[in-house]
Amino acid sequence: MPKVVDHQARRIQVADAVQQLITEQGLDRVTVARTAAEAGVSVGHVQHYFPTKDEMLLFTHERVVQKTLERVSALEDRSRSERLPIRDVVVDGLAEWLPVDPPRRSAHRVTLAFVGRTVDNPHLARAHAETGRRIRSLLAGAVHNGKECGEVPGGTDPGLAALELHSLVEGLALQLGSDPDETASRTALNLVSARVREAFPGRCRQYE
């Protein structure tokens, strides 16, 4: 009986190795040979799934984004079961994109490496833009739901509010990426919390 190969698992194995190399040594040190050694596979294995370095980086970035979105989705599920205000979910969800601990700093280093390559690669640039749209769409949906339940003032534009919150987190992430000390991380989290509470000042009627 022929052996069944899990191609997605093999791609993930390589992507995890790429992330580890970027985290520890930077993108310039990511080569096919080093990636293969880190993943414990052959050079041919890596080249079979990712013919170019940019393709490795794109898949690695997509994996990082997907894992972050899964954590955000888990927060939404918990909020419904525990009847938490929408603003609490937004605060915790935005914090997932901030490099405030080793796992999130690792993810952020992948993002920085990816963004740097978008300057010369239109395909990567389109993927980066799509990620931003996905994040803002989720935020706009949260603002819309906040308006429906009473946490957000009726005159708030969901799209503009989403853009503001996304821009705030992206800017803070860049600052923390160059100065990731504990005080700066705590300040960034407090800033995000304060701004979200300004955007979601009301009480949710569905819990009353």
| Beta carbons of 35 and 17 less than 8 angstroms apart | yes
Split at pLDDT 50, 70, 90, the class of 79 is confident
Same domain flag for 19 and 114: no
Residue 57: domain span:
52-207
Same-domain check for residues 58 and 140 = yes
Please report, for the domain that includes residue 23, its CATH number.
Answer: 1.10.10.60
pLDDT tens column, 104-145: 999 999 999 999 999 999 999 999 999 999 999 999 999 999
Three-class HEC string of the chain:
CCCCCCHHHHHHHHHHHHHHHHHHHCHHHCCHHHHHHHHCCCHHHHHHHCCCHHHHHHHHHHHHHHHHHHHHHHHHHHHHHHCCCHHHHHHHHHHCCCCCCHHHHHHHHHHHHHHHHHCCCHHHHHHHHHHHHHHHHHHHHHHHHHHHHCCCCCCCCHHHHHHHHHHHHHHHHHHHHHCCCHHHHHHHHHHHHHHHHHHCCCCCHHHC
Could you tell me what percent of the chain has a pLDDT over 90?
Answer: 86
Note whether 129 and 148 are same-domain residues: yes
For residue 120, what are its two tokens?
A: 């010369």
**Domain match, 69 and 14 both:** no
Per the CB < 8 A criterion, the answer to whether 200 and 152 are in contact is: yes
Q: How much is the pLDDT for 77? A: 82
Task: Please give the pLDDT value at position 181.
Answer: 85
Looking at the structure, do residues 44 and 115 belong to the same domain, yes or no? Answer: no
76 vs 19, higher pLDDT:
19
56 and 138 housed in the same domain: yes
Number of domains the chain contains: 2
pLDDT band at 92 (very low <50, low <70, confident <90, very high): very high
- pLDDT tens, position by position, 1-35: 555 568 899 999 999 999 999 999 999 989 999 99
Residue 39 predicted with pLDDT over 90: yes
Q: Does 70 lie in the same domain as 8?
A: no
Tell me, yes or no, whether 75 and 172 share the same domain.
yes
CA distance linking residue 187 with residue 85, whole number of Å: 22
CATH number, domain containing residue 114: 1.10.357.10
* For residues 172-199, average pLDDT: 92
